A and B are shown apart, each in its own frame.
Chain A
Amino acid sequence: MAQASFLPLEGLQQEEQHQRHNRQIVPRKESLPPATDCFPTGVPVLDQLLQGGIPRGKMVEIAGDICSGKTSLTFNILAQATGQEELVAYIDTFNTLDPRYLEKSGVDLSRVLWIRCNPEKNNPLDTALKALDILVQAGGFGVILLDIASLPFFKRAPIHRISPHSWFRAQRALKGSHTALLILSSHKATGSAAFWALSIQKEGSRWIPPHSGQRTANYFQGMKCIAQLIRGRNHGCVEVYCRL
């Protein structure tokens, strides 16, 4: 008969404390789609960080303050999507999209559905979320972009008041579809509903210096941004250059 080994009470408490101390917080394993089911961002180092790019069937948030380069990065992702003959829906909550720059970024405008939420008339955030609901349920779009990045002049845009249920409902509707949902915001809004969340900040700007005798710069050339992955399996940051 095997004899049971008893530990003294103090020893047991120490063992529990030791185990608790050494326990690692393992994030919930969510299956990562294969690289073929991703849209590249157009920035190779960022694609490496994101393990292929923007995954289909997932929600990805790109957040950044004004003049951070988030819009430029997003337009580049849309260009990659339309380059693959995908249909793109752009929910423009505050009517700030300039299609001329969209085309300059390489986006095929004939494959873009632009939805302007008309901020002068109704509550644009509510309208944008309803439009998002319609588009997600309809399916068939390669990328749906919800642009809720407000400008500093839209004081009445309470992004933080968006119910988390809205994001989780969209996340559930996306599951199994081939649509990637991009949320473009001023600050992180989707919480834990997003699969990836990128935070972008401006690092510096580049101006071509003036010729001798001139008071002003010659022209504005571009800026350097830092994109940091703040939610996801990896962590890290990459430099992104935007040129006018």
Chain B
Amino acid sequence: MSRYIAVFSAHPTELFEFAHLLAPKVEHCPPDGLILEIPVRYEQDTLNRLSQFIGNHSVQIGGASTRTAAILAAKNRPGTLIPHGKETQFLSALPLASLTTYVEIDQQTLATFSQWGIQTLGELGALPENALISRLGQKGLLLQKIARGEDTDLFAPYTPPVEFEERQQLEWALNNLEPLAFILGGMLESVCSKLRAHGLAMEEIELRLCLVDSTWFTRSIRLALPMQDPKVILSLVRLDLQSHPPQTGITEIAVKARPTRPRFFQHSLLHPTAPSPEKLSKTLTRLKSLVGDDNVGSPILLDTHRPDAVELRELDLSSRSRRTKQGRARTGVSIPGQEASSPESAGRKAPLQLSLRRLRPAQVTRINPQEIITCAGPWKSSGDWWTDEEQIDGWSREEWDVEMVDGGIYRIYWDNRSRQWFLEGIYD
């Protein structure tokens, strides 16, 4: 059985530290209080040690078998230890105003109790519950429970924030990736086991390496999805360090993980198998180290008429498909009740969407009218002339489709700003 000791002090900081030494579970009651949960047999010993620590300081202490009674005792009868089971009896003698030391009560409710002739907590506790609820609602029941010394809130012990960090100093400087990876493997194992113990996963890892010249080399690697597997994380860190190596030897290593809730994937029986998230993340990191971070991702079309307005974003398998109805219809994906490639449609010559192979950047070209067989145009477009950076962002052009004598069909445009012809791409 547990006992609760409530302590209120004008100088709570030192008291908090000492209380954590006395009891494993301590609840903080801001701004100046704390509650200790201790076994019955250690109650007297704990009170003695608290008294020694407090000395002559003005501190309010109260003990009881419920959290509420302990707080009321400490606030209204400091130095009182209520025996087990005598909470209601002890509190019944306290005046009704003593409730305000535990909970805020509006003046209207106090006036109502005064009209009813209720002066003490005992009288409030003795009122019939149903009648009290019908007149004051749940608020009345809450006040009655407090007056009886019953707990209305759960005991919430303080848990210090956990740091998922590992740090290691080296006796001599490391210059190669292999020994560094060996040490990092152990550190990541430790960090990941801590994360698993707290039911968390790693979202981002910050790697700090102290170099020989006492400067810090920092790399922050954002994982494609929350992970707990140290081997996968180590391979991602290795790939990142291969593409961004530190300039000199390393004398100290610090690894810090940013925790998040793990994400669980439910693979579908009906959809085709996709690469596992860990494997995909590893593949993306390898590709990024090969071609650069900005050159790998899923294309996103920007909402503008500007030509070639495209962005690359992280490939996210968990996101829902962005397919439009138009796209689904065009692909001829079989819909229940309809056959995509029916015998009737087999002989039909359905045209494909003609595509353009784009030149990046568009090349300045000279147009020889003698080489043009057919042309169509112009299609004029312009935009962003209203922005402040008109010279940079604005565009104004006239597009033409031309078929040349070499057999190619090209998209060219006349840039109204630079007064030049550009070759934009080839229809293919």
Contact = CB atoms under 8 A, between A and B. Distances in A.
Interface in A114-141: 114-118, 127, 130-131, 134-135, 138-141
Interface in A196-213: 202, 205, 207-208
B352 A114 contact: no
Nearest to A107: B327
Given A134-B290, A138-B279, A207-B374, A99 B299 contact: yes
B135 interface: no
B287 interface: yes
A108 B357 contact: no
Interface stretch (A8-16, A67-75, A160-168): A67-75
B357 A138 contact: no
Contacts of A99: 299, 301, 310
A75 B409 CA distance: 18
Interface string B274-301: 1110011011101100111001111111
Interface size range on A against B? 35 or more
Contact of B331 (A82, A113, A240): A82
Given A42-B331, A43-B352, A109-B322, A67 B427 contact: yes
Interface stretch (B121-129, B136-144, B338-346): B338-346
B272 A117 contact: no
Interface string A69-113: 111110110011011111100000001111111111111111111
A22 interface: no
B359 interface: yes
Interface stretch (B95-103, B111-119, B313-321): B313-321
Interface stretch (A23-31, A219-227, A229-237): A219-227
A55 interface: no
B340 A244 contact: no
Main secondary structure of the interface of B (DSSP, over half): mixed
B66 to A, nearest CB: 56
B333 interface: yes
A114 B295 CA distance: 8
Given A44-B345, A83-B332, A115-B291, A243 B354 contact: yes
Given A42-B331, A220-B427, 13 more contacts: A42-B350, A69-B352, A95-B360, A98-B356, A105-B352, A107-B327, A110-B321, A114-B297, A116-B291, A138-B280, A205-B374, A220-B374, A242-B353
Given A85-B271, A110-B322, A70 B428 contact: yes
B375 interface: yes
B292 A100 contact: no
Contact of A223 (B272, B286, B409): B409
B333 A83 contact: yes
Contact of B332 (A80, A139, A152): A80
Given A76-B352, A99-B299, A243-B353, A71 B375 contact: no
Contacts of A66: 407-408, 426, 428
A96 B322 contact: no
Given A73-B352, A111-B321, A130-B290, A105 B330 contact: yes
Contacts of B408: 66-67, 152
A240 B332 contact: no
A89 to B, nearest CB: 9
B341 A67 contact: no
Interface of A: 40, 42-45, 47-48, 64-73, 75-76, 79-80, 82-87, 95-118, 127, 130-131, 134-135, 138-142, 149, 151-153, 178, 202, 205, 207-208, 216-220, 222-223, 239-244
B419 interface: no
B349 A241 contact: yes
29 contacts: A42-B350, A42-B352, A45-B349, A75-B355, A83-B331, A86-B272, A96-B425, A98-B357, A98-B358, A101-B355, A101-B356, A102-B355, A105-B330, A107-B327, A108-B323, A110-B319, A110-B322, A112-B298, A115-B287, A134-B290, A135-B287, A139-B275, A178-B273, A208-B376, A220-B403, A223-B409, A241-B350, A243-B351, A244-B354
Which 7 pairs, one residue from A and one from B, show the smallest C-beta to C-beta distance?
A: A140-B275, A83-B333, A106-B330, A99-B299, A243-B351, A83-B331, A106-B331
Contacts, number: 239
B358 A220 contact: no
Contacts of A239: 349
A56 to B, nearest CB: 10
A242 B310 CA distance: 24
A76 B353 CA distance: 8
B332 A207 contact: no
B213 interface: no
B275 A141 contact: yes
Contacts of B272: 84-86, 142, 178
B274 A140 contact: yes
Nearest to B313: A110
Contacts of B358: 96-98
B312 interface: yes
A240 B427 contact: no
A219 B401 contact: yes
A222 B354 contact: yes
B388 interface: no
B11 interface: no
A68 B341 contact: no
Contacts of B333: 80, 83-84
B124 to A, nearest CB: 63
Interface in B205-242: none
A72 B355 contact: yes
B308 interface: yes
Nearest to B310: A99
A132 to B, nearest CB: 11
B291 A240 contact: no
Nearest to A97: B358
